[in-house]
A and B are shown apart, each in its own frame.
Chain A
Amino acid sequence: MARLQDIDALMREELIELECPKFGSDPWVDAPKLAESRVAVISTAGLQRRGDRPFDLGAADYRVILGETAAEDLVMSHISTNFDRAGYQQDMNVCFPIDRLNELAEEGVIGSVAKYHYSFMGATAPEDMEAPARQLAGLLKADNVNAVMLIPV
Chain B
Amino acid sequence: MGGLAHYLEEDGLATTQISLIRLHSEKTRPPRALWVPFELGRPFGAPNEPEFQKRVLTETLKLLERTDGPILDDFPDGPPGPATDDDGDIEGWTCPVNFGDGTHDISVEDDPLAALNQEIELMRSWYEMFVEKNNKTSVGISEVDFETCIKYLVDFISDKDTPPPRTDIPRYNMLKLATDEMKAYYFEAGLARPGLATDKELADWYYGETTAGKVLLKVNEACANSGDEVLKGMSDRRIIPIHQQHLKQQTA
Contact = CB atoms under 8 A, between A and B. Distances in A.
Interface of A: 1-4, 6-8, 10-11, 14-16, 18, 20-23, 26-34, 37, 39, 42, 44, 50-51, 53-54, 56-57, 70-72, 75-77, 79-91, 93-95, 97, 99-101, 103-104, 109-110, 120, 122, 126-127, 129-130, 133-134, 136-138, 140-141, 145-153
Given A120-B4, A129-B4, A130-B3, A85 B50 contact: no
Given A85-B199, A93-B47, A150-B5, A54 B187 contact: no
Interface stretch (B23-31, B115-123, B149-157): B23-31
B36 interface: yes
Contacts of A16: 23
A29 B13 contact: yes
B37 A93 contact: no
Interface in B149-189: 169-170, 172-173, 176-177, 179-180, 183-184, 187-188
A59 to B, nearest CB: 10
A85 B18 CA distance: 18
A123 to B, nearest CB: 9
A91 B23 CA distance: 28
A72 to B, nearest CB: 4
B67 A30 contact: yes
Given A8-B243, A20-B27, A150-B5, A29 B42 contact: no
Contacts, number: 288
A94 B56 CA distance: 10
Contact of A85 (B3, B19, B41, B169): B41
Contacts of A56: 169-170, 173
Given A34-B61, A54-B169, A129-B4, A81 B137 contact: no
10 contacts: A20-B28, A26-B69, A30-B67, A37-B61, A50-B141, A57-B230, A75-B138, A133-B8, A134-B7, A149-B57
Contacts of A7: 40
Contact of A82 (B46, B57, B141, B242): B242
Interface in B222-246: 230, 237-243, 245
A129 B28 CA distance: 15
A83 B57 contact: no
Contact of B64 (A37, A83, A133, A151): A37
Contacts of B140: 50, 75
Contact of A127 (B3, B61, B176, B177): B3
A90 B230 CA distance: 32
What range describes how many residues of B lie at the interface? 35 or more
Interface centre among B46, B53, B242 (most CB of A within 10 A): B242
B191 interface: yes
Interface in B28-71: 28-31, 35-48, 50, 53-54, 57-58, 60-62, 64-65, 67, 69-70
B7 A11 contact: no
B42 A94 contact: yes
B31 to A, nearest CB: 5
A94 B53 contact: yes
B210 interface: no
Contacts of A32: 14, 64
